Amino acid sequence: MFLKYHYDLQPQDLLRLESPFFAAEKIRELFRRGTPIPASLFFHYSPPFTHSRSDIHYQELVSKIEAGELCLVYSDIESGSVSAPLVAWRPGSEAEESGLWNCAGTFGRGIPGLEELVAEMNRRRITPQTLQKMSATGASSLNEIEQWNQFAESVGGDQPRQDEHRLSLPIGGSANIAPLPMREQHNSTSPERGVHLVMGLFTDGTLNNIDNIELFREQVRECEVLEQTDPEAAKACADRLALELGDSYANAPTNVVKLFDLYREGETQDGEMTSLMMKTYSHGVGTENGGEDSTLDSATGLGKTGVVSQVNRLFDSTAAIANLRLRGRPVTKLSIDLFGFSRGAAAARHAANSILRGRAGKFGRALSKQGIGWPEQVEVRFLGLFDTVAGIVNLRAGDFSASDGENDPVELKLDSSKIGKVVHFVARDEIRANFALNSVGDSDGRLPENFREISLPGAHSDVGGGYHSLQDEELLLAPVMEIRGSDTQRPEQTMKWDNLEALMVEIQSEGWIGDYSLPMRDGTAPTLEITQKRSEHPAPDGRVDLALKMRRRVSGEYSNLCLNLMYEMAKEAGLLFDAIPDEDSWSYPEELAAICDSLKSQIVNGVDAPQLVPKQRMLLKQRYTHCSSHYNPIRFMLGEQEVSMEFPFQPWGHPLRPTPTRKRTVHYQQGIGKA
């Protein structure tokens, strides 16, 4: 066995890698015995101490192992000695070559940057067969993802299509793990030329995680088998699975994920200048790869899976990947593009501010840990934001509301003099109280010339993505009204009925149901109505529960139109992307083409609140725009039983309630140019 720095790991090492906890214990045991320490232990790492337990450097060694900075790797003949294997291959259900590398428990998350790196390798379909062929051919150092792909292709590895670059796996473990390429020494004897490093950093929204979505897709295939014989049973099966696993599994991919897929990677040479393009993705607040969603972190935006942690995780993985790609070459210029949705947009703004602090900021320090110096030329070139909602609840700082303008420790304010271009798409029809918008403009409507804040039709995830292509909405639009006593004989004549009826008229005027509405799954028409539920108890009059409900069916394809708009604006700013695939999951229906053209034309002409003609507006509202605010009970699994329960402290306790005015709360920046 031997010790290695985490960034020196070879792909073949991962199957022989010990967890940080047990690795530290084994090193302690070696020193505890008092026997000679095997020289092979330090073949890859030269310790600055005399192998004595009393030496202060021994304690530093153990600390580095516990922190995952140093890794304990066994030789081939010792591979059976691993106490807690960090990585194992979990085959897929369809073919011998399909599957994922899997990390047992939480051990792998102690290795800096490992979780994101290996998730990226899983997306590139590196299999045990690939590793065996690498060993047989002597290949051991593939520092760039392009090299991974080229090698896998040369040994017969299947390469994924654009939309199939992530594999699925039956759930049962936790984080996805795939091979890490080793760090290759740059042996060129010619003078080292500087590199223009171009980075795309992508931060997803709350409870959005593409790797968990892929895991869900594998599991839900068992439900899809029922589709031909019993569609209702198939839907119930999928709904149950979604409740068991959580929203980060059951959601659809967001526009951040799709832009990440399209963002160009590679290396180009233009005379003396080498340009290296890379990208990294950080899953959304409240999620862990293969793990349970965190209700607390999702509610507060803080904690182990909160906004700040999301950014720090992004910086660590980005620096580690950059180190592998650069191969020791110096960076003379650094250009950074950031994309985010919802709290991920808040994370992108927080990340931009950290980057602008230079080498003293978190990103500068992350690069320094990887041996990458801070270049003299650094630019935050582009921010592509979808509906920023920071929604921070910081109890320690006395901030008890997600809807106020207090967002410490997340830094949202952007300095227009230090950023190339900001494009912020905001959701015109979002009215939830806990989804206050964090604008990039001043309260008087002023925006710097290099900032655009464009109001688009739709709710939060209509603009940012995450809805499935077709969804049934069955919504409770107000808290249930309870009538007791003699009023139960004439509920239509009560004040509570009048209040619900007034709200129903207001919602009707918003145009959610009309000529363009889709029929329900059972073929019936959508409805907006007050329902009555009678109970004989308590005696003598019983009670009547009044509920304002809306049932309708909505398409999720409008978000691809918003994707197209951001894609075009980013390309106009000089960013490089692959072409949008001509596939259903990336496209929008022909009936939206005229709407897209109208929005594009107005945006190009500087209109930040583009308008549609009434027919187009009603088509969008009734067929494509989701009603995101409601008072639906919370649903969850209690053992094998599905449970439905009202949120406490109605109406103010429901997290998805609308604002009292049914108008969105907006928090503005002040003094934009002086962040």
> Would you say residue 172 lies in a domain?
no
Give me the pLDDT at residue 270, please.
Answer: 84
* Single-letter code of the amino acid located at 585: S
**Mean pLDDT value across residues 608-623:** 98
User: Can you tell me the distance from the alpha carbon of 16 to that of 34, in angstroms, rounded to the nearest whole number?
Assistant: 26
Sign of the dihedral through C-alpha 545, 549, 551, 554: negative
Same domain, 287 and 403: yes
Asked which of 535, 555, 575 is the last residue of a domain, the reply is: 555
Better-predicted residue by pLDDT, 435 or 216 = 435
User: Can you tell me the distance from the alpha carbon of 543 to that of 486, in angstroms, rounded to the nearest whole number?
Assistant: 9
Across all residues in the chain, what is the average pLDDT?
A: 84
Cβ count within 10 A of residue 515: 9
Same domain, 489 and 428: no
Q: Tell me the per-residue pLDDT of 3-12, one tens digit each, with 9 for 90 and over.
A: 887 777 776 7
User: Can you tell me the distance from the alpha carbon of 564 to that of 566, in angstroms, rounded to the nearest whole number?
Assistant: 6
Same domain, 497 and 578: no
Q: Measure the N-to-C terminal CA separation of the chain; round to a whole number of Å.
A: 52
> Would you say residue 66 lies in a domain?
yes
Per-residue buried b or exposed e for 23-56, using 16+ beta carbons within 10 Å of the residue's own CB: bbbebeebbeeeeeeeeebeeeeebeeeeeeeee
Same domain, 312 and 420: yes
Residues paired with residue 4 on neighbouring β-strands, in sequence order: 71
Q: How confident is the model at residue 324 (pLDDT cuts 50, 70, 90)?
A: confident
User: Can you tell me the distance from the alpha carbon of 17 to that of 70, in angstroms, rounded to the nearest whole number?
Assistant: 11
Task: Match 């920046």 to its residue by tokens.
Answer: 669
Q: Minimum mean pLDDT among 158-167, 370-379, 418-427, 635-644: which range?
A: 158-167
CB within 8 Å of 96: residues ≥ 6 apart? none
Has residue 109 got a pLDDT over 60?
no
Give me the pLDDT at residue 45, please.
Answer: 59
Same domain, 27 and 141: yes
Q: Tell me the per-residue pLDDT of 616-657, one tens digit each, with 9 for 90 and over.
A: 999 999 999 999 999 999 888 877 788 888 877 767 789 999
Give me the pLDDT at residue 16, please.
Answer: 81
**Mean pLDDT value across residues 274-291:** 95
User: Can you tell me the distance from the alpha carbon of 527 to that of 476, in angstroms, rounded to the nearest whole number?
Assistant: 12
Same domain, 463 and 509: no
Beta strand 87-91 with 543-555 is unpaired
Give me the pLDDT at residue 258, please.
Answer: 98
> Would you say residue 218 lies in a domain?
no
Could you give phi then psi for residue 561, rounded to 5 degrees? -65, -45
Q: Minimum mean pLDDT among 80-94, 145-159, 320-334, 489-503: which range?
A: 145-159
**Mean pLDDT value across residues 482-496:** 95
Has residue 177 got a pLDDT over 50?
no
Has residue 168 got a pLDDT over 80?
no
> Would you say residue 571 lies in a domain?
yes
Has residue 145 got a pLDDT over 50?
no
Instruction: Identify which of 533, 583, 354, 558 has the alpha carbon closest to the alpha carbon of residue 467.
Output: 558
Give me the pLDDT at residue 579, please.
Answer: 97
SS3 string, 154-209, reads HCCCCCCCCCCCCCCCCCCCCCECCCCCCCCCCCCCCCCCCEEEEEEEEECCCCCC
Give me the pLDDT at residue 107, please.
Answer: 45
Same domain, 289 and 407: yes
Give me the pLDDT at residue 100, please.
Answer: 76
Same domain, 422 and 570: yes
Q: Minimum mean pLDDT among 60-74, 313-327, 480-494, 538-552: which range?
A: 60-74
Give me the pLDDT at residue 124, please.
Answer: 67
Has residue 301 got a pLDDT over 60?
yes
Same domain, 460 and 478: no
Beta strand 2-5 with 70-73 is antiparallel
**Mean pLDDT value across residues 590-609:** 97
Q: How confident is the model at residue 175 (pLDDT cuts 50, 70, 90)?
A: very low
User: Can you tell me the distance from the alpha carbon of 339 to that of 348, in angstroms, rounded to the nearest whole number?
Assistant: 6
**Mean pLDDT value across residues 113-140:** 65
Give me the pLDDT at residue 192, please.
Answer: 65
Has residue 157 got a pLDDT over 50?
no
Residues paired with residue 2 on neighbouring β-strands, in sequence order: 73
Give me the pLDDT at residue 462, please.
Answer: 98
Beta strand 481-484 with 543-555 is antiparallel
Give me the pLDDT at residue 637, please.
Answer: 81
Has residue 52 got a pLDDT over 60?
no
Same domain, 582 and 458: yes
DSSP string, 494-531: SHHHHHHHHHHHHHHHTT-SSTTPBPPTTSPPPEEEEE
Give me the pLDDT at residue 626, please.
Answer: 98
Give me the pLDDT at residue 68, please.
Answer: 80
**Mean pLDDT value across residues 48-62:** 59
Same domain, 443 and 353: yes
96 CB-contact burial (10 Å; exposed 0-12 / middle 13-18 / buried 19+): exposed
CB within 8 Å of 580: residues ≥ 6 apart? 262, 563, 564, 567, 586, 587
Q: Tell me the per-residue pLDDT of 347-381, one tens digit each, with 9 for 90 and over.
A: 999 999 999 999 999 999 999 999 999 999 999 99
Q: Which domain holds residue 43?
A: 2-154
> Would you say residue 170 lies in a domain?
no
Give me the pLDDT at residue 144, please.
Answer: 42
Considering the entire predicted model, what is its pTM?
Answer: 0.77
User: Can you tell me the distance from the alpha carbon of 137 to that of 264, in angstroms, rounded to the nearest whole number?
Assistant: 30
* Single-letter code of the amino acid located at 141: S
Same domain, 360 and 495: no
Has residue 197 got a pLDDT over 80?
yes
